Amino acid sequence: MRKRRDGLGKLTLVLIAAILLTLLPLPKLLDPIWPYWVALVLVYWSLESTGGISLGFAFLAGLVLDVLTGSLMGMHALSLVVMIYLVQRFRARLRFFPPWQQALSVLALLVNDRIILLWITALLGEPVPTWEYWLAPLAGMAIWPWLFLLLDRVRIASRQQGA
């Protein structure tokens, strides 16, 4: 019980870091390739931590992100819930993929997410985005193995502290 709560605390810290990264003002060049940090962190935590994370947690994280980034309320919540659902569904398989295959699955998840977002923004009357819109999932895939190693370290440190 105690151990789980410690993990949750660590997750919250990592999530806050991911949200800050998302909001960081960027030079124009970097802007389109900035990965979906919150999604990457939640996917990692959902795959690797013992309890995983619940859909409700993903939903709440999405709402916080919606408020902070000024997007339509519920947009990121929907996107993250769908993503975490897919991860939970295929968790057994994803966990034992070699890193490159896992990175490809992450790419598939992120592209799927972009398609959902595209559908929502199209309903809002937004113009179809340029090809740059699809760069962020690629960047997410490229960063996945490194993020995985980093978060592994953070999470295992938390477990040792809890014990």
Partner 1 sequence: MFGHEGARTARLMIYLLLALALMAMDQRGHYVPRLRSALGTALEPVFHVVEWPANALRAVRTYTTSYRTMLEENRSLNEEILVRDGAAQQLETLRQENRRLRALLEATAGREYEFRFAEMVQVNLDPFSHQVIIDRGGRDGVFVGQAVIDGAGIMGQVEEVHLHMSGVRLISDPDHALPVQLTRTGLRTVAFGTGETSRLALPNVPLQADVRSGDLLVTSGLGDRFPAGFPVAEVESVRRDPGGMFAEVEARPLAALDRGREVLLVLPAGPADRAEETPDATAEPEGQP
Q: Closer CB to partner 1, residue 74 or residue 145?
A: 74
Closer residue to partner 1, CB minimum distance, 1 or 92: 92
Q: Quick one: 62 or 140, whose CB is closer to partner 1? A: 62
CB of 163 to partner 1, least distance (A): 29
Residue closer to partner 1, measured from CB, 69 or 101: 69
CA angle 161, 36, 51 (to 5 degrees): 35
Asked if residue 136 lies in contact with residue 128, where contact means CB atoms within 8 angstroms, the answer is no
- For residue 11, the minimal CB distance to partner 1 (Å) is 17
Binding site for partner 1 (CB under 8 A): 19-20, 22-26, 31, 34, 55-56, 59, 62-64, 66-75, 77-78, 81-82, 85, 88-89, 120-121, 124-127
CA distances to 28, 64, 158 from 82, rounded to whole Å, are 29, 16, 28
Residue found by looking up tokens 């993503």 in the block: 83
Question: Who's near 52: CB < 8 A, 6+ residues apart?
Answer: 45, 46, 88, 91
